[in-house]
Amino acid sequence: MEMEFKDTGRRRRFILLTTGIALAVVAGWTAFTFASRGTAPAEEVVTRPVLVAARDVAARTTLTADDLTVRQVPVDEALTQAYEEADVAIGRVSAVPIYADQQITPNLFATSAANADFSILGPDDVVTPTSAHWRAVALDIPAGRAVGGEIKPGQRVDLFVSVQIDIFALDEEGKYQPVQNADGQGLRSGRSTKIVMQDLEVLKSDPGAGLYILKVDLHQAEQIYHIVQLAPDSFSLALRPDEDSRIAYPGDYGTTTDSLVMEYYFPVPQLIDLTQLLSGAQPTPAPAATPSGDEPAASPAPEPPDQQASPEPSPAP
């Protein structure tokens, strides 16, 4: 019996080869069709300018122009509160670390209010459980008592206060009464001027409005507001040199009228007898005081006008 042998492998290879060629032709035709139609134009991306950090910025750093840059950012990626110009951020102090390319928003600064132009804390100030309780206070001071209004933010000043000191004494009924004249100890009511706070930083100044914002600690703020209640128009400022950070001893300072008289030898006004002046006679000068207990020498009486020597004529020019 004879058996027939059929080569099925060749037939299978032929079918696969034919199918592959057909698929390649279809793929090529499809690619050619899409290429011939052209690529659809991409949609235009809408952007807006956004202020971002040009480099990493540490916390408590005063920002400069080198720390910032403006870039075009897609609208859907731009933060609503992000600034668009560098001027609003230059000079402000970062409250937290700011990373490169991070959008600049108001909450990144020590003063979170938008457009704030001063910060209470400086670049070196760190809030700790033992750090000073820094505050900002505003004082109304006219230009004449604030270096003519030439005080600028960042400068250092000393604060003076002039207040009325009232003296009280017990009367015969055991009640305290204001002393109108000097008491037994030579004390009397009057004004007193004193340097009270030194080396204060000026955070903001508005000379036109006579307004100055100073950086003080919480205890100083309390004292200032108490003085405002007693004598609101009592403050004066003295500008310090930038290099001078010395603190003077307050006990060596303080001025009253009597201290000025004693230190600078101001002449003290006296009562005079005007009867001779009103009658046309020459008033007799008061005798000069002598350091010893001796009687002063009598002053010579003035000569009559006809016996006085005539002055020499002035030379011709």
Is 30 a member of any domain?
Answer: no
Give yes or no: residues 168 and 242 share one domain: yes
Give yes or no: residues 104 and 141 share one domain: no
Is 281 a member of any domain?
Answer: no
Give yes or no: residues 157 and 255 share one domain: yes
Is 78 a member of any domain?
Answer: yes
Give yes or no: residues 138 and 251 share one domain: yes
**Domain containing residue 103:** 47-108
Taking only the tens place, the pLDDT of each residue in 23-76 is 777 777 777 666 666 555 557 889 999 999 999 998 778 889 999 999 999 988
- pLDDT of res. 299: 47
The domain boundary residue, chosen from 108, 126, 146: 108
Is 8 a member of any domain?
Answer: no
- Tell me the C-alpha to C-alpha distance, in Å, between residue 202 and each of 120, 147, 215: 10, 13, 6
Mean pLDDT of 211-236: 95
pTM recorded for the entire structure: 0.54
- pLDDT of res. 92: 81
Give yes or no: residues 147 and 68 share one domain: no
DSSP 73: E
Is 80 a member of any domain?
Answer: yes
The domain boundary residue, chosen from 226, 248, 263: 263
Residue 167 is encoded by which pair of tokens? Answer: 């003296």
Give yes or no: residues 138 and 259 share one domain: yes
Residue 132 is encoded by which pair of tokens? Answer: 């000073």
Is 250 a member of any domain?
Answer: yes
- pLDDT of res. 157: 97
The Cβ-side half-sphere exposure at 275, using a 13 Å CA radius, reads 1
- Look up the CATH number of the domain holding residue 57: 3.90.1210.10
The distance from CA 174 to its chain's CA centroid, rounded to whole angstroms, is 50
- If one counts the domains in the chain, the total is 2
Is 300 a member of any domain?
Answer: no
Taking only the tens place, the pLDDT of each residue in 167-191 is 888 888 888 888 777 666 778 888 9
Q: In sequence order, which residues have a C-beta less than 8 Å from that of residue 131 and are 6 or more positions away?
A: 125
Give yes or no: residues 229 and 177 share one domain: yes
